[in-house]
Amino acid sequence: MRPFRFLTSVGELHDGPRLAAFARRVESIGYSALMCPDHLLAQYAPVPLLTAAAAATDKLRVGTFVFNVNLRHPAVLAQDLATLDRLSGGRLEIGLGAGWNKPEHDAIGLPFEPVGTRVAKLTEAIQVLKGCFADEEFSFDGAHWTITGYDAQPKPVQRPHPPLFIGGGGKRLLTLAAEEAQIVGLAPRIGKDADGLPVIDARSITLPATEEKVGWIRDAAGDRFPGLELNCYPTGGPVVVTNDAKGEATRRADDLRRRTGTRLTPDEVLDSPHVFIGSVAQLTRKFLDLREHLGISSFLLNDAEACAPIVEELAGR
């Protein structure tokens, strides 16, 4: 079994000194990587933030969860990422996604294309990034990007490239991740609420749904599967450390029903690989069980301090 790796993220707009202090703190707890999302919302841009975090730490890896490839030309993104990998001494992880949040596209007049087109662009972007990171010049003739005799500079420290993190909730994206990535993220499916806004498909975060997704990954990866790292994150709501797991799960089930229209039982909530509710001992046991039964060894935990005792116990084991 792969050793546990725990990731966390910056939830506030820290100034420089507080960001540095936060990064050093999560490094001391045992978190493997500090991750930053990529949205046109009230947040810092990923590359400058991660560069500052890497400069303040010695071993902490940095990464994105995840870049929306619709927002940047992949060759331009490759230069930013190779620079960050070099400045961090080879500590970068590259999370990539097809984009899912239509309102932020609408806000800047960027077309929100059909899912098939967005996944096709992601597929091409992966090839362009790999070409840019390679040792020689390359050309690429795709439906969305064309590269001609380009030798991208600089080259990243990690060879042949920093690990790619690709996730999804459906078979198409998980198949792509299984074929191209080193880290595969298990995510929920995204639907729409009554107002047309994105909302998770609550059924897709259950244990049976996750077992099905791991099966898709295994089938698509073939001989690559033993080398893949599987990641999960708490899309079913924030981590809650409590001695009343059943009561909190009942409240969480009610909240999911209000938000998604899907009724899950408290036991289904507690069993979900995307929900982390319980005492430190219960959560520690859950992480061990998820690794043993599903092979999931990587977890993004947004509340770094609340989860510190668990991370200190399991990280690297």
- Show the low-confidence residues of the chain (pLDDT under 50): none
Backbone angles phi, psi at 208, to 5 degrees: -60, -40
Burial (Cβ within 10 Å: 0-12, 13-18, ≥19) of residue 253: buried
Q: What is the largest CA-CA distance in the chain?
A: 61
Distances (CA, A) of 193 to 97, 100, 196, 260: 22, 14, 5, 7
- Report helix, strand or coil for 75: helix
Counting every residue written for the chain, the total comes to: 317
Write down all domains in the chain, each with its CATH number in brackets: 5-238+278-314 (3.20.20.30)
What is the end-to-end Cα distance of the chain in Å, rounded? Answer: 9
What per-residue confidence (pLDDT) applies to 244? 98
Tell how strand 190-192 and strand 198-200 pair up: antiparallel
Helices and strands counted in the chain (H then E)? 11, 15
The number of angstroms, rounded, from the C-alpha of 280 to the middle of its chain's C-alpha atoms is 24
- 205 contact partners, CB below 8 Å, separation of at least 6: 188, 235, 236, 272, 273, 274, 275
- 273 contacts: CB under 8 Å, gap ≥ 6: 186, 205, 207, 210, 232, 290, 294, 296
**Does the reported pTM lie above 0.85?**
yes
User: Which tens digits make up the pLDDT trace of 281-291?
Assistant: 999 999 999 99
Q: Which DSSP string do the residues of 127-196 spell out, in sequence order?
A: HHHHHHHSSS-EEEE-SS-EEEEE--SS--SSSS-SPEEEEESSHHHHHHHHHH-SEEEE---EEE-TTS
Amino acid identity of residue 304, one-letter, is: A
CA distances from residue 122 to 117, 158, 285 in whole angstroms, order as listed: 9, 22, 36
- Residues 137, 80 contacting (CB under 8 angstroms): no
Other Cβ atoms less than 10 A from the Cβ of 148: the count is 9
The encoded tokens of residue 234 equal: 């708490």
Contact 179, 221 (CB under 8 A): yes
CA–CA separation, 87 and 55 (whole Å) = 8
In this structure, what DSSP letter does residue 306 have?
A: T
Instruction: Using DSSP, state whether 173 is helix, strand or coil.
Output: helix
Q: Would you state the pLDDT for residue 194?
A: 67
Vertex 229: Cα angle to 122 and 92 (nearest 5): 65
